Amino acid sequence: MADNQWLTTLWLVLAVVVVATQGLRLGSFNIKIFNTTKGHKDHVMGYLAKTAVRYDIMAIIELRDPSLWALKQLVQRIKSDHGVDMKYIATGSIGKAVIHIEQYAFLYREDKGISVVDSYLYDDGDEAKGTDVFEREPFMVRFRAPNCVVSDLALVAFHPPPSDALHDLKLLIPVYEDVRKTWPDSHVIILGDLNADCRSVPKEAWPQIEIRQRPEFYWPIDDDADTMVKDRSMCAYDRFILAGQALKDAVVPGSAKPFNTREEYGLTETQALEVSDHYPIELVLRDASDPVGSSSTLVGGLWNLWTGHYIIIIILIVIAFLIFRRRSAVYGNFGIAKRT
């Protein structure tokens, strides 16, 4: 009976740990010039599929394929390699100058209950009259994620050209206000390759950027992070901007960071650059059933350590403990046979 009680207790503890490692994993990846040429490179698509399947929702930046063939190939590769049927939503071509024409896309896990509620492209003025303000307008998608502590998400994908980055970041407040007006119940996250560092946006320019200065906006990717593959680069170009305290509290501490594909996949710089010159960035939003809550940043951070392969360690510890208990029952305390 005692063994059964121990077994029940241990499995309950394990279940709590598993719940804490869930939540919604959000990613954004500038897949440099993601077109049909890249879509035909089998090894590159393998790495892209392996990366994309990490996320419940992933923004794709720098898609350059109006036919969406490369995106569809990626979805098929994810299914064939990982057994996951990811869905997508994508824009048409966006951009005024030919060299700046791109598309935005999102991949998402419908099998986890995530769905697209609505979407639109930001109206930044009349291009024919020259009154539009962005080279590439932001793309807004409203997602429903019932298992996330913030279930109504408005994700805004954005990629300003490097030369326009400072100008465009100054204009993001009206974009945010437009999303709030359109979907007042949604929690807003702006994400993408914002070119928000180094020569494009030097640190001394931050005071000019309202969305950076206002306290209700949270930039979880550290300014000193490196979201670029090349060794000689040290720039935090790719960013998340979270609006409101509820979203800030929902982020699992320590989860917002670049995902270093070179280290994770054992790639050389040259090999990694075949995939992209950027690393994806990621964060985790707490599961709706996460017992930790936002009151303890330290505890939340410790819980976040138990992700990926660490859960296997927990399972092995549980199994070892149960074996030890059974041996103790047969041979006595500490597994040593009692003498009479």
Six-digit token string for 263 = 């280290």
Six-digit token string for 100 = 């700046």
Catalytic residues: 102, 159
Q: What is the DSSP string of 216-253?
A: TEE--S-TT---BSSTT-----EEEEEESHHHHHHBPT
* Euclidean distance between CA atoms 260 and 238, whole angstroms: 13
**For residue 44, what is the enclosing H or E element?**
helix 42-52
The three-class DSSP label of residue 203 is helix
Question: CA geometry: angle at 125 spanning 122 and 130, to 5°?
Answer: 135
Contact partners, residue 122, CB within 8 Å, separation at least 6: 134, 137, 138, 139, 140, 175, 178
Do 85 and 60 meet the contact criterion of CB atoms below 8 Å apart?
Answer: no
Six-digit token string for 20 = 């804490």
Question: CA geometry: angle at 247 spanning 243 and 249, to 5°?
Answer: 130
